[in-house]
Structure 1
Amino acid sequence: MPLCSPSLSLCGIIISIWGIIQLVLMGFFYKIHSLALSEDLPGLDEGFTNVNEFYAKANSGYSQNAFNCWIAACLYVITLFFSAHQFYLNSRNSISM
């Protein structure tokens, strides 16, 4: 039994594919410590006593953000499977009618 209309399930497929591509790339760039993403690191606005403390906090932030991006990409994969299943059910129901 389809829960979504054909257009909604197709929209879900397209958005899921885009989300997977974007989040996997962002996770990769966080993993290689891209300087362009340094503004989004948590906890770098506090005062540091030495440079090693700053680097440790920055490395931790990069790793955590990369992990978060990859988790979100996995959630988009689940959404993609659900949307594709709904699209399949809708196309199967329109053929049988």
Structure 2
Amino acid sequence: MAKSPRYSKLHICGPGLSICCSLISVWGIIMLAIVGGLLSAKSAAFIEDIPEVDEHNLSYEERLNKGFDLAATNCYGAVGLYLGCLIFCGIQVFFNIKASAMKN
């Protein structure tokens, strides 16, 4: 059975790659959401990983809080990127399932 032109434009990666990337995306979302939550809660475990904010008119505590907020925002941004990757790879998994069903 021939593939439709619309289907062949949307089918980019194979079944193994799409499943692997989906699993890695799920893991990345979980881990970065946890790290972002811990950074939002200002966990002391991340004190050495906090970027220094160069605003000299702020106290040390205010600069530290701003650094925690910046790092948490970066983690949540990465969660959004992993979510986009998960959506893309999930669509590819769907197309691979559809392609294997068309062969049978």
TM-score relative to the length of structure 2: 0.83
Equivalent pairs counted in the alignment come to 92
Structure ranking higher on relative contact order (CA contacts 8 Å, 6+ apart): 1
Rounded Cα–Cα distance in structure 2 between residues aligned with 1:67 and 1:42: 12
- CA RMSD, aligned part only? 1.6
Q: For residue 96 of structure 2, what is the amino acid of its counterpart?
A: N
**Number of the residue aligned with 1:19:** 28
> Greater CA deviation, 35-44 or 83-92?
35-44
**Structure 1 runs of 4+ with >4 Å offset:** none
- Structure 1 residue 93: deviation in Å? 0.5
CA radius of gyration, larger in = 2
Gap runs ≥5 in structure 2: 1-7
Gap runs ≥5 in structure 1: none
Q: For residue 94 of structure 2, what is the amino acid of its counterpart?
A: Y
Task: State how 1:1-97 maps to structure 2 within 5 Å.
Answer: 1=8, 2-43=11-52, 53-97=59-103
| Identity value in percent | 34
TM-score relative to the length of structure 1: 0.89
